[in-house]
Structure 1
Amino acid sequence: MAPLQRELAKLFIKYPIDLSRQMHFENGIEQLFNKSFLQPIPSVLEERALYEKQLILSIRYQLNKDQLILRRTADEMNTYYLGRLNECNQKSNEYIQNSTYYELIETINEINTEQQQLEEIIQSIDLQLEILYQR
């Protein structure tokens, strides 16, 4: 609902109308928006959705079975990477180890949990903010 409200706000900035008409319009749009979710989808669309869900589950199962990975690349070309999972993990680890863009701060495991790490980071930030505040 929030994206719809943002778009309506932009619309009313671009085309201002009196407040009562604006509120009436917003209420009508909200009712239509909510009503659209109460209507059942056509059976043809429901069947297609179920078919595509099964297709996706089948692809996911086959990828896991063959230890493959399918990922969208980071470029804007809408291309995908398909490769062996272990090769992808190896390349990722090599990149992180050989790159100067990453620094290992701490390993997360049973002893050093993610929650503990987050709490330490928050404490560190709080301390630095307190020092800045005192200046």
Structure 2
Amino acid sequence: MPQKRGKGKASSSSSSSLRLVDKKFVNEAAKAKFGKFMEKNKSIIVERGLRPPEFDIEGDIINNIIQQQWHNLTDMQDPAVTTVVREFYANGYYQRDNDEVYVRGTMVSFASEVINRYFDIGTVEDDEYAAFLEE
């Protein structure tokens, strides 16, 4: 699995062992990072989806989407709540020991299995990317 960036120390994945700051943040540094995200007031780049018929995509791309049954990945997603997204990234920066991050009172998993289940797509085993990670 690729290393996650960041200088903060990873915290425990158990929400009961977390000492939260303002009931939202895993530490003061995460609260400060969230504040910086809000100060910048930059808009979040929203996923735009990929509509193959509209783009008249042919060949390998559309064939791969069909073969892997990734149709749900090409659809437009509902708009995100930007403050929750920023909170996710602020806490996630300091919770790097697993695929979970504390958001709004809940540990939220972003493991590939959970994402695949959400989008109703199967897990690709032993693909080229997995082989690359093994090297």
Q: Which has the higher contact order (CA 8 A, sep 6+)?
A: 2
When normalised by structure 1's length, the TM-score is 0.20
Say which structure is richer in helix: 1
When Rg is computed on C-alpha atoms for both structures, the one with the higher figure is 1
